[in-house]
Amino acid sequence: MLFFIILIAIWEIIYRFNLSYEFFSVTAFPSPINSVRELYLGFFETGILLEALGTSFQRLVVGFIIAMIVGSLLGLLLARSKLADETLGSLVIALQSIPSIVWLPIMLMLFGGGNVSIIIIVALGGTWVMTSNMRLGIKSVQPILIRAARTMGYKGAELVWRVMIPASVPSFLSGTRLAWAFGWRALMAAELIGTGGLGRTLMDARDFYNMDLVIAIMIIIAAIGIIMEFVIFDRLEKKVFSRWGLS
179-208: per-residue pLDDT in tens?
999 999 899 888 888 778 898 899 999 888
pLDDT score recorded for residue 228: 87
Residue at 121 is within a domain: yes
State the Cα–Cα distance between residues 35 and 215, nearest whole angstrom.
Answer: 6
Residue at 80 is within a domain: yes
**Banded pLDDT at 169 (limits 50, 70, 90):** confident
Domain span holding position 182: 34-243
**Distances from the Cα of 69 to the Cα of 97, 134, 164, angstroms:** 20, 11, 17
pTM: 0.85
**pLDDT above 70 covers what percent of the chain?**
99
State the Cα–Cα distance between residues 199 and 123, nearest whole angstrom.
Answer: 17
> Does 247 score more than 80 pLDDT?
no
Query: Three-state secondary structure along 92-120?
Result: HHHHHCCCHHHHHHHHHHHHCCCHHHHHH
Residue at 17 is within a domain: no
Mean pLDDT of the chain: 88
pLDDT score recorded for residue 167: 85
Residue at 10 is within a domain: no
Residue at 88 is within a domain: yes
pLDDT tens for residues 8-53? 999 999 998 888 887 777 777 888 999 999 999 999 988 899 999 9
Taking the C-alpha atoms of 177, 178, 180 and 185 in order, what is their torsion angle to the nearest 10 degrees? 150
The gap between the terminal CA atoms of the chain, to the nearest Å, is 28
pLDDT score recorded for residue 246: 64
Residue at 220 is within a domain: yes
- Residues whose CB is less than 8 angstroms from the CB of residue 225 and which lie 6 or more positions away in sequence, other chains included: 181, 184
pLDDT score recorded for residue 4: 87
Residue at 24 is within a domain: no
> Does 100 score more than 70 pLDDT?
yes
Residue at 13 is within a domain: no
Local structure of 27: helix, strand or coil: coil
pLDDT tens for residues 120-143? 999 999 999 999 999 998 888 888
Domain total for the chain?
A: 1
E strands present in the chain = none
pLDDT score recorded for residue 75: 92
pLDDT score recorded for residue 99: 86
State the Cα–Cα distance between residues 22 and 18, nearest whole angstrom.
Answer: 4
CATH number at residue 204: 1.10.3720.10
pLDDT tens for residues 49-91? 999 999 999 999 999 999 999 999 999 999 988 899 889 999 9
